[in-house]
Structure 1
């Protein structure tokens, strides 16, 4: 929470130091790094907590790091050989001098993920907490400091790199200090053994993770390449501002769902438990999301500056998407609890096709709003996600009828508050 507060305080400063066009460049950079980084270790990073013996866990850490290094050396060569062509294809020729940062950021993100799983394995959560505060502070200071110096868009990009880079370096140094002897004793045959033992991760999990990330970020890259102006920057700011508080609540509920869901599944009551969790989310989260979305145009103008009204407008379009994502994300773990990995992969592939296809279709129809098409595709994807989860857990959609009716007065009150807030914000903005 402290880390998120640091970033939230820095964001209104950054939106006044950098233009929406420069945030659009950041959106493309972040999208590329996000898509590549989830699979840069071929998901061996996720396997780090699994080995019973410490030596095998250390070997898995070294394997994941080595794979990330090898993959990103290849990416680095590509960014050196044809940077202009890559940047032009992305619709951002100004990215060409900075493309070498992509493999660096991807490698650091892979190492950071690996180290996170190592420290989770050893239950050293205080290290992770302090590290996140340091990452947020380093990223914020980099973006604000370089923005004040007029170094743009490099300041935004380096702030993104510093975020994962600080985490990778700090945790990596502590890992080496703690496990120096075991690292030296690890052999190539040890790496080969754990690579074979956990081969299902690159075979299945890597593709699922890339599809999941690409479904979110590839349409933004496409939209940035095809549309004029800073539309991708507006989308990125709107998504970030809304999804950070959503993730704080969603992650907490996910932990509860995962810890109790396995017991409910063994008892044959996972469907009822899923409905109970969804009911609670509907009562507590839907109203505030609608409230903020209604007031978003004036709120964004006041907080982030007059150049960012469009981002607030897009938040309104993305509101149905955010609501369904808020409901789907915590209970999506039901797929893993029931070991329905094939269905999980199929859903991610469906989401990728639906969301990229929606943007592509809107582009072929002259004059159609690309961002709005992307926002609505997110709603339909997560709606299908919730319906599939209900079916696989043995629940029924009609089971949510009573909770929805019970939540209507609460949602209505939040909506009225949003309308009132929008009116007040309009008067405030005009006054100032």
Structure 2
């Protein structure tokens, strides 16, 4: 069985990325009990607001041109997309910084509350680092430099936790958490950029304004359709957190954020590695007519891989959370149990959700994310008005409902793409 698995190029690439991600998440996971004993839930609430804004901005920083980088057959066209991605990330980071420094926006409750306005200066830097990293990561994936990607993951995780623990040991102010999170999101882009310059200098220097214009014309659907879809997707998860930051008890958003971070570990551990390799091969599979079968195998494999770990978390978390995380973090364990259906469904759906873009179903993807945003924001506001003490639990339920609908839509699209005579079995 092991011989069969490792004979697949796809599986080998996943295993390379997975090894780096395991080390990365091992570093992060093992240090969570230290960090939670240095910083209180209120400090994590500041991080929750900061990370939510950063996540939404990063999702669209490259105008989604980075997603298209692995797809072109021509290296010059791919290099043009890389340049477009970096330029877009630079412009958006400056624009976001300017908007958040604008007084009317700084007075909004979700920024003014929890002292987020003190850290607007760091957001602009964090957005640029995150967006640029995504651009060069996609280029490295195109070149199948998965070992290099894995190394950058481990490096940035180490520096991230060192930053948070080092500052927290001296003075546990929220800035320590925010700086560590910024390092985790964007540190390592320079290594990938130097790799691209060393090995692909000729392709990068061949980029001209005319080639960039051609790339825009060829991939205009990504900024026009995929960018709103990505923003809606990020907002569906992060905007409710911002609402909870602004309206719930000071510690609630911090408790929720940590639970989401822990439940997101399997997605970080396996899901993103699968996504990177899936995207790197999806273009060829589409041309060969084998994309539906390829995608169904990925869905089934992820479901089998995630079922038992998620079940164990749901059963044990309410009893072990305070023991593992420290005094005051017991509610995080209860929230972890509520989040199991949501994150299990996300685990098997998100890695292959790019199939909608590859199949030119951008309108469906945008509509799906708009529905998800309305569903989750509506659920949070409803809970705040009727049973505010259960706002985080309601948010978790709405996430599970969304991914049930999303998975159903993906299966419908795959059925349409299936070659005549084949079935979904």
Query: May I ask how many residue pairs the two structures share in their alignment?
Result: 394
Distance in 2 (CA, whole Å) between partners of 1:308 and 1:81 is 36
Distance in 2 (CA, whole Å) between partners of 1:344 and 1:70 is 25
Correspondent of 1:343 among 364, 369, 373: 364
Of 111-120 and 262-271, deviating more is 262-271
8 Å CA contact retained: 1:265, 1:338: no
Matched ranges for 1:404-423 at <5 A: none
Query: Which residue in 2 is equivalent to 1:132?
Result: 153
8 Å CA contact retained: 1:29, 1:102: yes
Of 78-87 and 7-16, deviating more is 78-87
Kindly tell me: are residues 83 and 105 of structure 1, through their superposed partners in 2, closer, same or farther at Cα, counting changes over 3 Å?
Answer: farther
Correspondent of 1:213 among 213, 222, 234: 234
Q: Structure 1, unaligned stretches of length 5 or more? A: 396-402, 404-432
Query: How far apart are 1:105 and its partner, in Å?
Result: 0.7
Query: How far apart are 1:252 and its partner, in Å?
Result: 6.2
Distance in 2 (CA, whole Å) between partners of 1:248 and 1:306 is 27
8 Å CA contact retained: 1:87, 1:94: no
- 1:42 maps onto 2:63 in alignment: yes
Distance in 2 (CA, whole Å) between partners of 1:191 and 1:257 is 26
Matched ranges for 1:201-350 at <5 A: 201-251=222-272, 262=285, 266=289, 270=293, 274=296, 284-330=305-351, 332=353, 335-336=356-357, 338-350=359-371
Distance in 2 (CA, whole Å) between partners of 1:391 and 1:169 is 41
TM-score, structure 1 normalization:
0.81
- 1:85 maps onto 2:86 in alignment: no
- 1:374 maps onto 2:411 in alignment: no
Kindly tell me: are residues 127 and 157 of structure 1, through their superposed partners in 2, closer, same or farther at Cα, counting changes over 3 Å?
Answer: same
Query: How far apart are 1:178 and its partner, in Å?
Result: 4.2
Query: How far apart are 1:390 and its partner, in Å?
Result: 3.8
Matched ranges for 1:46-125 at <5 A: 46-82=67-103, 85-86=106-107, 88-90=109-111, 92-125=113-146
8 Å CA contact retained: 1:116, 1:128: yes
Q: Structure 2, unaligned stretches of length 5 or more? A: 1-21, 417-424
8 Å CA contact retained: 1:335, 1:344: yes
- 1:356 maps onto 2:359 in alignment: no
TM-score, structure 2 normalization:
0.83
Kindly tell me: are residues 53 and 6 of structure 1, through their superposed partners in 2, closer, same or farther at Cα, counting changes over 3 Å?
Answer: same
Distance in 1 (CA, whole Å) between partners of 2:188 and 2:276 is 23
Correspondent of 1:14 among 23, 35, 50: 35
CA offsets per residue over residues 235-291 of structure 1, 9 Å max, x none?
1111111221244344566689886995899479859x84x7666655553343222
Distance in 2 (CA, whole Å) between partners of 1:331 and 1:373 is 26
Kindly tell me: are residues 332 and 181 of structure 1, through their superposed partners in 2, closer, same or farther at Cα, counting changes over 3 Å?
Answer: closer
Distance in 2 (CA, whole Å) between partners of 1:163 and 1:110 is 13
RMSD: 3.1
CA offsets per residue over residues 213-244 of structure 1, 9 Å max, x none?
11111111111111112111111111111221
CA offsets per residue over residues 76-96 of structure 1, 9 Å max, x none?
223334288246443535122
8 Å CA contact retained: 1:264, 1:270: no
Distance in 2 (CA, whole Å) between partners of 1:256 and 1:268 is 13
